[in-house]
A = this chain, B = another copy of it.
Amino acid sequence: MSAPTILDVAARAGVSKSSVSRVLLDSPSVSDATRQAVHQAIADLDFRPNLAARTLVSRRSGAIGVLVTDFHNPFFQDVLDGIDEITGLGKYTPIVVSGKRMQKSEEGALHRLLELQVDGIICVTATPQQHALQAAARITPMVILTRTPELPYVDSVVNDDFYGARLVVQHLLELGHQHIAMIADDQELAGTDRIKGYQQTMKENGFEQNIQITPGGFTETGGYTGVKRLLQTNANLTAIFAANDLSALGVLNAAVELGLDVPNDLSVVGYDNIFASTLKHINLTTIDQRAKIIGETATKVLLERIENPRRAAQRIVTTPVLITRSTTRRPR
């Protein structure tokens, strides 16, 4: 009645449980005859090894844990495609748990992954406390995405936001724009790499005095109010760099209301390349962080760390790309 065990397989194949175990683990020191007999018995009995028992003694589960803040985040979804890409070839399976957007349950989820004895953790999230991460990293290899915690033996993979912003500004400058304003996060009007990239590139091209940053949040409403505020004070403005796509969509809304034609009266660029931006009647010029590549890179780094847990922490920077669509054009 209950599930067959390695002993049942051994009995049926006429060998010892040790031999069955060796076949299961692909050990080289087993004769073809036994190997075949064991495979046959496994098939006959529909045997599947008990992972709990296996994990208990071998101290590895073959699973890598992925901790995400929120399944709705498209960035995470692409990251997971990348993780799948790499793990698909090998012996590890990604299992995903959600932090439900709350720090406490995020730490609970992290705890859960440790309990499951995952062989490594990829953390696609911002909020757990530093010490919770550190405690986890002492137990299991870990790599963190989108930020660099500066913890010993913890690798990180981050997007080059500075370069991404530079791509945006360069694109607009090449089209002939000079009056380029940025809508940034409410919290951060300076200091983030995305903002630094904008400022630096403007400065290098001699438009330091045209630098103009307004808060707008990472929301549709934020972009909407942000651009209205900008246009009130600066009639020369020909291009807007919104801190993310959602905000850029708000800018597009405002433009319609104000009777401005995008891209002829106003060029708009976003950041993230979310699904809505790809729709034909939005068709937003934006930056793609290539989250899939981030996921692939993170997985590779994690697998390396599983092999060699004591090597120095790595920080890998990935390169975003500009996606030129129809919301940017040279100014009139």
Contact = CB atoms under 8 A, between A and B. Distances in A.
Interface in A39-79: 46, 48-53, 55-56, 61, 63, 71-72, 74, 76-77
A53 to B, nearest CB: 5
Contact of A55 (B3, B52, B84, B95): B52
A210 B76 CA distance: 45
Stoichiometry, copies per complex: 2
Interface of A: 3, 46, 48-53, 55-56, 61, 63, 71-72, 74, 76-77, 80-81, 84, 88, 93-98, 100, 105, 109, 111-112, 114-117, 135, 139, 220, 224, 249-250, 252-253, 256, 275-276, 279-281
User: Which 3 pairs from chain A and chain B are nearest by CB?
Assistant: A52-B55, A52-B56, A276-B276
Contacts of A55: 52
A8 to B, nearest CB: 16
A180 to B, nearest CB: 23
Contacts of A81: 71
Contact of A279 (B51, B100, B276): B276
Given A80-B98, A100-B88, A281-B252, A56 B48 contact: no
Nearest to A114: B48
Contacts of A98: 80, 84, 94, 96
B281 A253 contact: yes
Given A80-B71, A93-B97, A116 B220 contact: no
A51 B135 CA distance: 18
9 contacts: A48-B111, A48-B115, A71-B76, A95-B95, A96-B96, A220-B280, A253-B281, A256-B281, A275-B275
A9 to B, nearest CB: 16
B117 A51 contact: yes
Contacts of A116: 51, 63, 95, 116
A134 to B, nearest CB: 13
Contacts of A76: 71
Nearest to A46: B135
Q: Most chain-B CB neighbours within 10 Å: which of A3, A112, A280?
A: A280
Contact of A84 (B52, B100, B114): B100
Nearest to A278: B220
Given A50-B56, A53-B56, A256-B281, 14 more contacts: A48-B114, A51-B116, A51-B117, A52-B117, A56-B56, A71-B77, A80-B98, A88-B105, A93-B109, A96-B97, A249-B280, A252-B281, A253-B280, A275-B276
A115 B114 CA distance: 18
A49 B115 contact: yes
Contacts of A252: 281
Contacts of A97: 93-96
A49 to B, nearest CB: 7
A223 to B, nearest CB: 11
